[in-house]
């Protein structure tokens, strides 16, 4: 069993290496721009909500703030998207919500992202709550000391206690389709 897990991990690393080779072929300048990132994730230019969501994701990976993803940022993004564990994904999600970078989430930050997620994912689901009601429910379940702000520890604990909250707070990027489509092209 241990050998099987090691083999699967090696396959994942090989896939990541192949994707990095693709990055260098598609981005010989060493920079992936936002419009290319949107294309990778299949975001239509006509969808303002999806576009804004992907822009937020793109900027969260652009650690040097040069409006491109370099090779290292790209590898970090791939690692998180394809192999990141729950804790890493939640920390990244927290960073996405925390627009002012103060280490705490206020209602405006949470509501802003919930509005985008609501338009993209939740309108077609069985959730019949408005973005404001969703935000209130998140704060009721996660803000342990009821100070109107959610810290990283409250965020992590709250998300892991309640599956509904987890699904909303854990921002998932579905790159599987792109990875599978482009893996076929690899040598």
- The model's pLDDT over 16-74, given as tens digits with 9 standing for 90+, comes to 677 778 778 878 888 989 988 887 766 666 667 777 778 888 888 898 989 999 888 88
> Rounded to 10 degrees, what is the CA torsion of 89, 90, 93, 97?
-170
Prediction pTM value: 0.67
Q: 54 and 91: one domain? A: no
Q: Give the structural domain span for 95.
A: 86-169
pLDDT of residue 46: 65
How far is 53 from 37, CA to CA, in rounded Å?
A: 12
* Domain count of the fold of the chain: 2
- Residues 6+ positions from 137 with CB-CB distance below 8 Å: 129, 165
Q: 128 and 67: one domain? A: no
Q: 126 and 161: one domain? A: yes
CA 45 to chain centre: 19
How far is 33 from 55, CA to CA, in rounded Å?
A: 11
Q: 8-12, 19-23, 142-146, 155-159: which has the minimum mean pLDDT?
A: 8-12
Six-digit token pair at 182?
Answer: 């482009």
Say which CATH number the domain at 24 has: 1.10.238.10
Q: Which of the given ranges, 65-79, 115-129, 165-179, has the highest pLDDT on average?
A: 65-79
pLDDT of residue 151: 95
């Amino acid at each position: 069993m241990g050998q099987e897990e090691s083999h699967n991990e090696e396959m994942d690393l090989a896939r990541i290496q192949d994707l990095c080779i693709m990055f260098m072929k598609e981005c010989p300048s060493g920079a992936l721009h936002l419009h290319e990132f949107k294309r990778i994730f299949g975001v239509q230019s006509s969808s303002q909500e999806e576009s804004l969501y992907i822009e937020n994701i793109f900027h969260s990976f652009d650690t040097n703030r040069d409006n491109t993803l370099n090779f290292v940022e790209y590898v970090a993004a791939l690692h998180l998207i394809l192999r990141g564990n729950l804790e890493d994904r939640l920390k990244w999600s927290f960073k996405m919500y925390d627009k002012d970078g103060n280490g705490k989430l206020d209602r405006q930050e949470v509501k802003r992202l919930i509005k985008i997620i609501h338009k993209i994912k939740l309108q077609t689901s069985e959730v019949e709550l408005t973005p404001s009601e969703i935000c209130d429910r998140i704060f009721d379940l996660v803000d342990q000391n009821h100070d109107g702000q959610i810290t990283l520890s409250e965020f992590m604990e709250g998300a892991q206690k309640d599956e509904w909250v987890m699904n909303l707070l854990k921002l998932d990027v579905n790159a599987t389709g792109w990875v599978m489509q482009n893996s076929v092209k690899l040598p």
